Amino acid sequence: MTAVTSWHPMAQLKAQAAAEPGRPCIVWRDGPARIELSATSAWNYAVKAANLLAEEFDLAAGGRVQLALPPHWQTAGLVFGVWLAGGCVSDEVQDCDMTIGVAGEPADAVTSLDPWGGPCAGGVPAGAVDLGRELRGQPDVLLQPRPLDRGVAARVGGVDLRFEQLRDGAGAWAGTRIGLAADPAARSVGTAFIRAAAAAACGSTLVICGPGERDVVQEQEHIDLWV
């Protein structure tokens, strides 16, 4: 059982998964492709990611993970996994314990960004872990529960973003559908993405798409606000 000593998005997501298991949490759009993670699916992905980080990479509580990834449903799931493992997300490699990146680029673990979360088609560099392959084999039960304390949620642009700073936004956006249109070629998380992911863990729905799809997504997904 995860110890909760203060407000934390992952404690909120766990409660959401129990109370409203089918609630849309993360939606990713790319043309005709649409992937939706319910609160239960997002929690399950976070548990698997946290297990991999703690067991395979020995990420310690308070450890820092660089996510060299574009806004994507897998990126949101990995943010949740880092938080559940007691870690901090970063957009830079400096002072990080490990890097998660896109297939074909140097990193400790890589993802294909396949819409269905599949493995990297062309293989991965020596020593790197293929998340699409390894996450599926992880247990659905958290192996190393860690206290979810108040602390640093992310370091973005050289500035620390603390969990208590995410609470107000999550409360203000509760129950809304949040749109985020971002460059799919980007290789870093931003403050808007972190804040929106935290809100999605707490009862909102985060809808991610490319800049050119904003109008279509607005109409089809009934977005309440864009960040």
pLDDT, tens only, 33-70:
999 999 999 999 999 999 999 999 999 999 999 999 99
Joined tokens for residue 53: 């980080």
The answer to whether residue 91 scores a pLDDT higher than 60 is yes
Which residues, in sequence order, are bridge partners of residue 89?
A: 65, 154
Distance (Å, rounded) from C-alpha 84 to C-alpha 101?
A: 19
The answer to whether residue 25 scores a pLDDT higher than 90 is yes
What integer pLDDT is reported at residue 122 of this predicted model? 81
Quick one: 222 exposed, middle or buried, by C-beta within 10 A (0-12, 13-18, 19+)?
exposed
Q: How far apart are the first and last CA of the chain?
A: 34
DSSP 8-class letter at 31: T
pLDDT above 90 covers a percentage of the chain that reads: 90
The structure's pTM equals 0.95
Assess contact for 113 and 89: CB atoms under 8 A: no
The answer to whether residue 1 scores a pLDDT higher than 70 is no
User: How much is the average pLDDT of 90-104?
Assistant: 95
What's the one-letter identity of residue 73? W
The residue assigned the tokens 């949040």 is 178
Under DSSP, is residue 125 helix (H, G, I), strand (E, B) or coil?
coil
Residue 58 Cα distances to 53, 91, 126, angstroms: 6, 20, 19
What integer pLDDT is reported at residue 127 of this predicted model? 87
Sheet of 152-156, strands arranged across: 129-130, 109-111, 98-102, 64-68, 88-90, 152-156, 159-162
Distance (Å, rounded) from C-alpha 196 to C-alpha 191?
A: 8
Under DSSP, is residue 38 helix (H, G, I), strand (E, B) or coil?
strand
User: Residue 43: which H helix or E strand, with range?
Assistant: helix 39-55
pLDDT above 70 covers a percentage of the chain that reads: 97
Mean pLDDT score across all residues of the chain: 94
What integer pLDDT is reported at residue 4 of this predicted model? 44
Strands 88-90 and 98-102: unpaired
Distance (Å, rounded) from C-alpha 185 to C-alpha 25?
A: 23
Distance (Å, rounded) from C-alpha 66 to C-alpha 122?
A: 23
The domain defined by 9-226 carries CATH number 3.40.50.620: no
What integer pLDDT is reported at residue 126 of this predicted model? 82
Residue 37 Cα distances to 57, 90, 98, angstroms: 25, 23, 26
Assess contact for 193 and 219: CB atoms under 8 A: no
Per-residue pLDDT reduced to its tens digit, 150-160:
799 999 999 99
Per-residue pLDDT reduced to its tens digit, 118-166:
999 887 888 899 999 999 999 999 999 998 877 999 999 999 999 999 9
